[in-house]
Amino acid sequence: MLSKEEFRNLFFRTISHSATAALAIATVFAPTVVLPQPAQAQTFNLIHTFSGDGDGASPYAGLTMDRAGNFYGTASLGGNGNGTVFRAVKKGAGWVVTPLYTFKGPPDGATPEARVVFGPDGSLYGTTSFGGTCGGCGTVFSLKPYPTACVTALCGWQETVLYSFTGGTDGMNPALGDLIFDQAGNLYGTTTGGGAYGYGTVFELVRSQGGWTESVLYSFTGRSDGSQPFAGVIFDKAGNLYGTTAYGGTYTWGTVYELTPSGSGWAENVLYAFQGGTDGANPFGGLIFDQSGNLYGSTWFAGQDRGGTVFELAPSNGSWTYSVLYNFDGIGPYGSVANLVMDGAGNLYGTTLNDGHGKYGAGNVFELTPSGGSWTYTSLYDFTGGNDGAEPICNVTFDAKGNLYGTTYYGGADGYGVVWEITP
């Protein structure tokens, strides 16, 4: 079993600071769907600076919006040292950020690195990379308001641990991947470790007799099928699941895979194995579909300029055609590690850790616009590494007005990251 520090090194500290090491290895609580509008001229606004104390510290994940326009997120550290779930509420011209829950560590949960998502019942659902009954294997949890009325702004929410991973065949250490629900209300996610072979799993949680029962849909072998899925999975219209593995595959640089229901189980099909050359390597981020059924994702390393890529996989006669849409500059480690977002006009948005396009080496928010068969890159904001933040790992989130929101892992006045807004 990886320790907490070993696991964190495997992801953030490795990819952000050591290329050499990387080469070696409803109601207001109801969900809302916003059709993003194209971003235009931008203004950067600082919503919150994490103190490293009760509000949290070092958020990996992006934000989730409810129907009232409030945002919810996770901070991987802070609180009692095990991370928090927080809410940002618009108040006049500013925002008020308050913690909803502070993780306690085992047997509760620790180090939430993925977003929280709303379930059909209006509760928030998420994962912690550590904590749980095994001590360091991680959990799946839900949060909802207490049944008694809240009379102060600091009222927390009630947590329920839906499942504690054991570190065995059931999996361990879910990381960056969002949970996803099917139409029946079942939950799906990934773990970076554990499983039958120790290289991670895709799992399902089904309600059962007042609780939840976990089943492993697929255990990665660490060979041609892939290894260590840091990202979550998404559904297509037929009920098949799609995701990425950061490592493994025929060339050891990661894969894009499909899981298809087959009899009483699921069968895996590798759609693409990264070669570590101009095609890119190590897709830590997940996938999105466009309206035509094409898949989009990113890699954080390799590509023509060795700084990672944005790619597309298009279905073609029963197979998939891979193409690189954009190459990030390779000035320092490296490109995008979060899911891309597509707006209603077909433009793509994402973040880089500290890609060469960032003027200050602290990462940026970018837009890719299709134009004449190619894609035009625009940096919407370059983080300076100062009070505005540094090294965004998150995906971006749109509101109905086309404003963009997200977090940074580092930077801010206290060095523990920020929540930011970019307005047209």
Strands 180-181 and 157-164 turn out to be unpaired
CA distance 386 to 361: 11
Between 11 and 377, residue with greater pLDDT: 377
Distance, CA of 398 to chain centre: 15
Between 150 and 179, residue with greater pLDDT: 179
- pLDDT confidence of residue 361: 86
- pLDDT confidence of residue 162: 98
Domain presence at residue 409: yes
pLDDT digits (tens, 9 = 90+) for 275-312: 999 999 999 999 999 999 999 999 988 999 888 999 99
Domain presence at residue 201: no
Domain presence at residue 383: yes
For the record, the structure tokens of 372 come out as 């004449």
pLDDT digits (tens, 9 = 90+) for 320-358: 999 999 998 864 335 677 899 999 999 999 999 875 556
SS3 23: helix
Pair 72, 96: CB distance under 8 Å: no
Domain presence at residue 168: no
- pLDDT confidence of residue 32: 41
Strands 265-273 and 211-219 turn out to be unpaired
Domain presence at residue 407: yes
Radius of gyration of the chain from its Cα atoms, rounded to whole angstroms:
20
Mean pLDDT of the chain: 89
Residues β-bridged to residue 349 = 341, 367
Calculate mean pLDDT across residues 208-220: 95
Domain presence at residue 245: no
Query: How many independent structural domains does the chain possess?
Result: 1
Share of the chain above pLDDT 70, in %: 87
Of 231, 201, 322, 222, nearest in space to 271 by CA = 322
Band (pLDDT 50/70/90 cuts) for residue 151 is low
Domain presence at residue 360: yes
Pair 177, 232: CB distance under 8 Å: yes
Strands 404-408 and 234-235 turn out to be unpaired
Q: Domain span at residue 390?
A: 39-54+347-424
CA distance 390 to 15: 15
For the record, the structure tokens of 416 come out as 């523990």
Domain presence at residue 43: yes
